Amino acid sequence: MKGRKLLMIPGPIEFEPEVLQALGAPTTSHTAPNFITSFGNCLKMMKQVWECPDGQPFIMAGTGTLAMDMAGANLIEPGDKALVISTGYFGERYAELLKRYGADVTILKSEPGHTVDFSAIEEALKTNDYKLMTFTHVDTSTAVRVDPKPIGELGRKYNVLTVLDGVCSIAGEEMRQQEWGIDVALTASQKAVGVPPGLALLVASSKAMETWKNRKTPVGNYYCDWSNWLPIMQAYEEGRPSYFGTPAVNLVAALEVSLKMILAEGMEKRVVRHEALAKEFRQKIRDMGFQMMPVNEESSANTLSAIYFPETINGSEFMAGMAKSDVIIAPGLLPELKGKYFRVGHMGSVNRSDIVSVLAAIEKTISQLKNLP
């Protein structure tokens, strides 16, 4: 152990020492040459991690919800039709967000643990003139993973902008934004990207940027408006100072370190590592008598797991027992099933030792519960 509890929730995660060291360094000016270089490096490396060489990256001080808001605010105008593919809590959140900007929203919602049938998505696109389609690559509430590639293909086929909520997937799951035709892919720093909370990260395709430029109405959110932020991103990438709002200087420095580490590992190797550790974890969990929320391996995320309590285990007692261990896990998030399951994050710098530690803590807690009078 590390002299403290091991953090195994779906974000924030465990962070590399080098990342935390960069975060704790003396704060420099946001117009200092070394910071401008660091910010520019981050923007360039995001294109590599997202696998979108022609995309426009944005780095904002904020959360993953802010990144969702930025996509909605800039691409939706009042009356636009939007299709939301929901596999959990965050799909429904996106629907509510888009409505705030005047979108006419249709939701295709799956049962917990399931994905939305592909044919239903195509049927909806055939019968309505949608401008935007959003989907959650990995929903943090259910650990359900959807395949972005065919959804991107549908977006191109029906000329619909596709927005991938990758808050719990980018830098942990396979995601080839440009090749798969995804117009916006967004995430937050505290997940698989491996930086403490505080950065909203987004890459927009040239099609998305062109759609924004051709808006007929002003963007309904001043802070999110790409008119304010695009010149800043362009200036930093070109090595020039610029200002709209003060960036999170230390978090950007930490992001540069983390992105360098991610690319040094290599995206393919990183995805394979996450997949191997997740499969091992899921199998061990099943061997203990638990059932995963995702109904099959194809729809199971590799960045986190959502696990039902067996009928023989009291969920509240289990979570109370785990709280006394050296491992921190997360309760369920879906309101209708909140006390029925728990979640374990395994992304970013996670290794086999971490997986073994959380399994040992779960096993010990189960044993203690069985021995209660």
Give tens-digit pLDDT for 197-232.
Answer: 999 999 999 999 999 999 999 999 999 999 999 999
Does residue 340 register a pLDDT over 80?
Answer: yes
pLDDT score recorded for residue 204? 98
Residue 97 corresponds to which amino acid? Answer: L
All structural domains of the chain, each given as residue ranges with its CATH number in brackets, are: 6-12+266-370 (3.90.1150.10), 17-264 (3.40.640.10)
Strands 304-308 and 56-61: what pairing? Answer: unpaired
Question: Percent of the chain at pLDDT above 90?
Answer: 97
The whole-model pTM stands at: 0.96
Question: CA–CA separation, 210 vs 196, rounded Å?
Answer: 32
State pLDDT tens for residues 57-103: 999 999 999 999 999 999 999 999 999 999 999 999 999 999 999 99
pLDDT score recorded for residue 4? 83
State pLDDT tens for residues 166-175: 999 999 999 9
The arrangement of strands across the sheet holding 291-292 comes to: 291-292, 304-308, 341-345, 330-331
What number of helices (H) and strands (E) belong to the chain? 13, 15
For 263, the token pair is 């690319």
Mean pLDDT of the region 16-32:
96
Q: How confident is the model at residue 3 (pLDDT cuts 50, 70, 90)?
A: low
State pLDDT tens for residues 241-250: 999 999 999 9
Q: How confident is the model at residue 1 (pLDDT cuts 50, 70, 90)?
A: very low
Mean pLDDT of the region 116-124:
97
Does residue 2 register a pLDDT over 60?
Answer: no
pLDDT score recorded for residue 338? 83
